[in-house]
Every structure is written in structure tokens, then in C-alpha cells.
Amino acid sequence: MAAALILTMQISASTAPEIPAVTDRTVLCLHGTRSMNRRVALFFECLQRDGFGVRIFALPRHRWIFDKSDAPLDLQRTGRCTAEIGLASSASKASAIFCFHWAVLPFAVLLGLLRGIPVIYDEHDHYELNTLEGSGPRLKLLLFSRCVRWIHRLCLPWVALVTCIHQSHSTLLLHLQRWQHNIVELHNYPSQIWRNTSPGILLSDRLCFVYIGGVYAEKGVLTAADAFELLPDSLKQQAELHVFGDGDKAVIEQLQKRAGLHVHNNVAPVVFRQFAVQHRCVGLALLADTPRYQLVGTNCTKLWEYLALGMPVIVSDVGELSRAVTESQAGLEINARLDPSDIAAAMLTLLQNPAATHDMSQRAAALMKQQGMTWEDEWQKVRNSLPAFQ
């Protein structure tokens, strides 16, 4: 227990940024939800590190969540629709507007025109396609998809910079270039802290198969649980299955009833890293073969976090998801139909071949230590694109 506490303190201390007491540099950030995902949290983290105060306006959907960043955010206050990160002087004026959701993009553009400051729009999902794959009547889904397209068509020409995820064959980039040519793809690589995290004292010799992220059926978590149950009893005693994340309550309840499966809810990144350095782990990146995931590129954040921590990965062959793993020989590829027997066979291979598993681990870590494989490298692209950040 004491060792775990010391490790947590060391990890937190190593990620803590130097936060100025008061800053006269401010940005406005607009979002369609109060729940800030990993990518948005990393934007905030970099803005804070660069000495900006961040004033946030969000539609009153979901609850405020700010625990997805790798470094502590200097959260000053939260209201119903507003929040502030960092201490900005009362006389400071915003130098830019960041928009993270299509629903508030018209307001961001209008505010940018009135204040005469640049607007940066980040498309961290293919919203037109994502909306079509949502739940509800087909007519509703089509209406929302068309709404996204019209907002893009009307607003993107007025935006100074668009940042977006990289999808297979740059699909989203080419799609958004219909209305805005100043676009930068930002790969969802993790912060430096992930690859710099030092191994700790192993608490167990068991091989832990781990998943982190949204807990949904289409992300393979139930199938992974089915696969784990197919392992011979003698090998189950040498392995564990851990799921870190929140999502579909019905799926989580099913997982919690499975023997030998551990579900960790409301987990901050630092806690997952702490677990990873104290156990022998294999990451699971199991996206189903759906139209949305057929376009996956480098936007599967969990994949890069696994690799940065030196984990071999079991990955499905959908989109470009498995490319880095197969090219670097840092894991095993399975068919994106997500058959439990395929996943069980991959688990069995790793359990029965510890030397090969160790070699994959070394290659995973080496891949992520290459130049350009961190979020800090990606953030530099934003700095280089905007005079306000020079």
C-alpha cells in the first residue's frame, strides 16, 4: 500500500506543470458537453503549460469531468455552463477561441468575428458518420447528420484553423477540406509521461489483459470477456482480465458478473499507469468492423497508450488500427469480426510464449520512443499554425 502511494505521488509530481499565479493570456473554449474527453483534456493541458488561462463555456449536458488529463489542471471554478482553468487577470482579453463541438461552432464563429480573434475548431470524431451510427429513429439520425454538414458548410470558411483526427486514408481531412483548406491532422499520441513512466515493483506474475476507454459492446469488451472464459483453467490461473472505464451501464453490469474479470470505473489516467507499471500487461484494442471504425486511423488513443507503456497489443484488423502493431511486431492481429475464439487464441499464444511476449513489449516501447510520437509533438503543429501561439 505504501509503495503504491509513493508511486502515485511520484507520477503526479512528474506530470505537474509549472502554473503561473496570474496570467494575462487567455483563450475561450466552447464545447457541446461538460464532459471533457482525453483529447480535449490534452488541449487544456497544453494551453495551461503555455501560460494561458482557459475560460470554458459548455452546453449543460452530462456532468463536469476534468480528470482525463495527464497533468493536473488548475481548475479554479465551475458553474452550470462555465468553468475556468488558471488564474487570468481581470483585464486579460481572449486571444483565440477553441471550439470542440459542431453544435456550438456557429456561436464560436460569431464570437470570433465580433471580437476579431481567430477561431480554432477541433473535429475529434467524424461527426456526420458518428451521428448516423447513433441510437434513435433513422429519420432523426439523418437529420442530425445533415445538420452537422450544413454547420460545417456555413461556418468552416470563417475558421482560422481546423484540427482533426487522422482517419484511414485521411478521410476526415479530405472531407473537411471541402469548406476549409487550413487543416492540420493531430494524431492521438499520448503525452511524454506515458513513455517516460518507469517500471515499478511487480505485484503479481500473472499476465493481465487490460482494456481502457469507453465500455461499449462495439469496442470488444464483452467479446474479450467471452474469450477469457475460453482459456483452459490451468492458464486462467496465470492470467487476469481488467476493464478500466465507464460507458454502457448494461454492458458494465454484465462484465461485473463475470468470474475473474475486474472492472475499474471512474479511473484517471494516472491510476491506469500506476497499475500498468506494477503488472505484466497486454493491451486490448478490439474495434468491431463497423462503417465508423473502418475509417479508424491514429485516433484510437488507447492503442498508443498501451504501446507507450511497453505493452504488447491484441488488435483487430480494421482501418489502419493494426498497422503500427504489425509493422513493428509489437503484438498480434485478429479479424475484426471479433470472434471470441480468435481472441482466446491470441491470449493463449502470449501466455504460452513469455519470451516472445517480452520481445513484443520491448518493440512496443521502442516504437513510441521514436521522434514525433507524443502529444507534445502534435501540439507544436498548432503552435506553428497560429501567430498567437508563437
How do the domains of the chain map onto residue ranges? Answer: 14-189+374-389, 192-368
With bands split at pLDDT 50, 70 and 90, how would you rate the model's confidence at 128? confident
pLDDT at 99 over 70: yes
Q: What is the mean pLDDT of residues 223-232?
A: 95
SS3 state at 185: strand
Residue 56 has pLDDT above 70, yes or no: yes
* pLDDT tens readout for residues 6-53: 344 344 444 444 545 677 789 999 999 999 999 999 999 999 999 999
Radius of gyration of the chain (CA): 21
> Cβ–Cβ contacts within 10 Å for residue 40, how many?
23
**How large is the average pLDDT for residues 206-227?**
93
Arithmetic mean of pLDDT, 156-184: 95
Q: Is 26 helix (H, G, I), strand (E, B) or coil?
A: strand
Domains 14-189+374-389 and 192-368 share a fold: yes
Specify whether the CB–CB gap between 315 and 325 falls below 8 A: yes
Confidence label for 390 from pLDDT (cuts 50, 70 and 90):
low
Angle at 359 between CA 263 and CA 237, to 5 degrees: 40
Q: Any idea which fold 192-368 has? A: Rossmann fold (3.40.50)
> What average pLDDT does the segment 345-366 reach?
96
Helix (H, G, I), strand (E, B), or coil: what is residue 102? helix
What confidence tier does 217 reach under pLDDT thresholds 50, 70, 90?
confident
By the 8 A CB rule, do 329 and 364 touch? no
- Rounded to two decimals, the pTM is 0.89
- What is the Cα–Cα distance from 37 to 246, expressed in whole angstroms? 12
CATH class of 14-189+374-389: alpha beta
134: pLDDT confidence band, cut at 50, 70 and 90?
A: low
